[in-house]
Amino acid sequence: MKTGFFSSPHVKRLAGCMALAFVLALMIGNQEGSQDDYGLAFRQAIFSPRIILFIVIGLLVFAAMTFWPYITPYLLRPGVRPLAVGGITVLVSQTLLKWSDDGRTGNGKFNSVASKAANTDGLAPMAKLFFSNYLGWILLLVTFGLGAAAILISLRALAWVAAVLGVVGGIWAYTSQAAVRDFLGTPDHSTGGGVALIGYLTLAAAALATALATGDIADTRAFVNRLLAWRPGMPLVVLGLIVGVIAFVQATWFSPQGSNQTLTDTKTFFQGNGLANLAYQYLAWLGYVLFIATLLTAAAASYLRHRILGWVAAGLGAVALLLSLITMYDMTDLAAAAGVDGATGPWQNLGSGAWMACAAFFVLAGAGLVVATLGARDEQGELAPAEAPAARSSDTLSRGFSAPGSSKVFLFVILATALFYPPTATGFWQKVLVSEIGIYVLLAIGLNVVVGWAGLLDLGFIAFYAIGSYTTAYLTGALPFKPPSFLHLSPLLAIPFAIAICLLAGVALGAPTLRLRGDYLAIVTLGFGEIIRITANNNPGNITNGPKGAFGIPHPRIELGPIKFVWGQNNLQYWYLLLVLIVIVVLLFRRLEASRLGRAWAAIREDEVAAQATGINTTRVKLLAFAIGASTSGVAGVFFASQIGYINPENFVLNNSILVVAYVVFGGMGSLPGAMAGAAVLTWLPEFLKDQVPAEDRQMWIGAVVLLMMIFRPAGLIPAKRRAAELRGLNRSSSAEVGAVPEGEGMGVRA
């Protein structure tokens, strides 16, 4: 019986793959069920042609799993991962992303734009060529195929060809999209071309890795480390070069009335209109000169590893950034005064080019700083030893890429994106950025303290968010129960009060439940969250205004003598406020993690009894975890209440608590960058899916993504160092010389 046909592992696996294919077929498509005919959806899935596609996918998965041990040696070669990432990125940009926002291009996705563009006269010939005869697809296939072939047969010449093709393809794709935009002549926020550029450049980088890798470098990570260690800051210089060239040569700086004016057009536009001299000179020549000067200084500083040159580059970059901002302010202020395109104030009608220039200067200044701060250490030797591993357990960027300065490189890239990308996004994405991504990132940072560091599962975290919001509503007088007049505050001043009250609430929740462990704690915190929400809903003593919630919570404002700043309806303003809050919290928590308290949390997480035996006051430490996590959540609550202006108990349902836990674990428990990345990805995903799948199916896809992530990468997106060690075993070195597949890496196949 044991040796029967159905107990053969291959048959089982095939059955599993077919089941997977069937479930996938069920997941695709529109809402099909109805109360009268529950079988409809199943019949649609089985008897439609699409089932063939899914059976093929199932068979491919089966083949991949069966032949996994034969594939893995190739997967570890340098360049494989970037090749896969690049190929998928381009594929995504050409299937899912928009290449034009203009209604004349159909749904705006690649195929639709391509078919329109191929038949349009007057489009730039190169762009027309790119879009016609499936050339975009052929280019992708050829580049990817050449890269893959180069890796398979280790042929350097082929890799060089692929690298060149990758660069050409990226530029071609980007300029083609730009040509379409120019042809249509309307402002455009679509990301297809840019993402395709990134994807092609990744492909090129993969091919380069293959071409340049020497025998002693076993995989991509080692190669990237070598690259980062070669000249710290050089990756930032290259990035600054790419972004800056696009900004100064090609991108839109000013776009009133649907026009797309590049830098030179903008100069012509403002010529003789009384623009301040400095700004005019910037538009005319100063901008270019500044860019070239900063670029050269930064490049020289990185190449020569010259500290003083590094400082000069950083200074030049900062000055150039400031001048760019002044120019942008001057010209938009002037345009607003002249009433161009109904502008009501500065910073309107700006195109992406101006912001890209800012980003380029920022990144170049960053490169200078990296060189300036690393120079001293590098003089001692070619490769500085990796930082002491115990000191920063969540600094995973430097775990994966251990070259000196590499975590700073990533930091500057992320900061540049956070600072200068949002102004170029559409209003919809700005709103998402503030009211979904930003707030949940803050909440995830807070919960990471409780769940990730102290190991206490808290399923009622949203309660503190609610407490923070209601505290704000109370202190600003938006509740039926008014505060005494001397306490009537503006929202930002409510932050310390919200922190204090959330600290108390955290202690109040923690104190009676400290004896509980693990899952008992989970259910009690869950209950706490529900108690808070139901209390707000039931409105005892008419304090919370019941299900109607609080209205008219004022927007934040700062009035300190001459400095006066009032937040209004514009989401960008809130984004920068939120960014400041997040940066402050992250800076504080980074210090906290390596502190005595942080280490005590790690100890009670790993083994509470042993921690107690070593003299840690577990009660106090646990309470502090609750209180600190809660106060972060309270800050998020203050921000939320004053940004949105009205709150009701529906904002604080149990589902949100569970989601925040999912974000933290998805990103990587106990890892600060991980928790932030997890929250950002999982809050971004549903909005992204809006264009791809029926709206009500989004949660299903998110569930599937979370599930797959946990199956294939249980430590999360950016695992904490300590967790990764737990999963991998402490003795395994994370070095490049990987001989075999790690145990259990084989998609359920036992090696």
> Residues interacting with other proteins, by CB under 8 A?
16, 19, 23, 26-27, 31-35, 38-39, 41-42, 451, 457, 512-513, 515-516, 518-520, 522-524, 526-528, 530-531, 534-535, 537-538, 654, 658, 661-662, 665-666, 669, 696-697, 699-700, 702-707, 709-711, 714-715, 723, 726-727, 743-745, 748
Task: Tell me the pairing of strands 557-560 and 563-566.
Answer: antiparallel
Burial degree of 717 (CB within 10 A; 0-12, 13-18, 19+): buried
Nearest distance from C-beta of residue 740 to other proteins, angstroms: 15
3-state secondary structure of 323: helix
**Residue closer to other proteins (CB basis): 101 or 697:** 697
Query: Which is closer to other proteins, CB of 318 or CB of 653?
Result: 653
Closest separation between CB of residue 42 and other proteins, Å? 7
Beta carbons within 8 Å of 374's beta carbon, 6+ residues apart: 232, 233, 305, 384, 404, 405
For the bound state, the minimum distance from the C-beta of residue 534 to other proteins, rounded and expressed in Å, comes to 5
> By C-beta, is 33 or 427 nearer to other proteins?
33
Q: How far is the CB of 47 from other proteins (least distance, A)?
A: 15
The 8-class DSSP code of residue 123 comes to S
- In whole angstroms, how close is the CB of 527 to other proteins at the nearest point? 3
Name which of 145 and 744 has its Cβ closer to other proteins.
744
Spatial CB neighbours of 252, under 8 Å, sequence gap ≥ 6: 187, 260, 261, 262, 351, 352, 353
Min separation Cβ 261 and other proteins, Å: 46
633 burial type by CB count under 10 A (0-12 exposed, 13-18 middle, 19+ buried): buried
Instruction: Output the six-digit token pair for 355.
Output: 């912001």
Cα separation, 44 vs 26, in Å, equals 8
Choose between 384 and 456: whose C-beta lies nearer to other proteins.
456
Task: Please spell the DSSP secondary structure of 726-750, one letter per residue.
Answer: HHH-TTS--SS---SPPTT-STT--
CA distance 117 to 469: 50
> Residue 449 CB, nearest distance to other proteins (Å)?
15
Q: Is the four-CA dihedral 743, 746, 747, 749 of positive or negative sign?
A: negative
- Tell me the backbone φ, ψ of residue 639, rounded to 5 degrees: -60, -50
Shortest distance in whole angstroms from residue 665 CB to other proteins:
4
Exposed, middle or buried: residue 36 (CB in 10 Å: 0-12, 13-18, 19+)? exposed
CB 218 within 8 A of CB 327: no
Closest CA to 112 of 93, 99, 128: 99
Rank residues 183 and 701 by Cβ distance to other proteins and give the closer one: 701
Closest to other proteins by CB, 559 vs 743, is 743
Cβ closest to other proteins, residue 12 vs residue 104: 12
Shortest distance in whole angstroms from residue 644 CB to other proteins:
25
Question: Which C-beta is closer to other proteins: that of 530 or that of 593?
Answer: 530
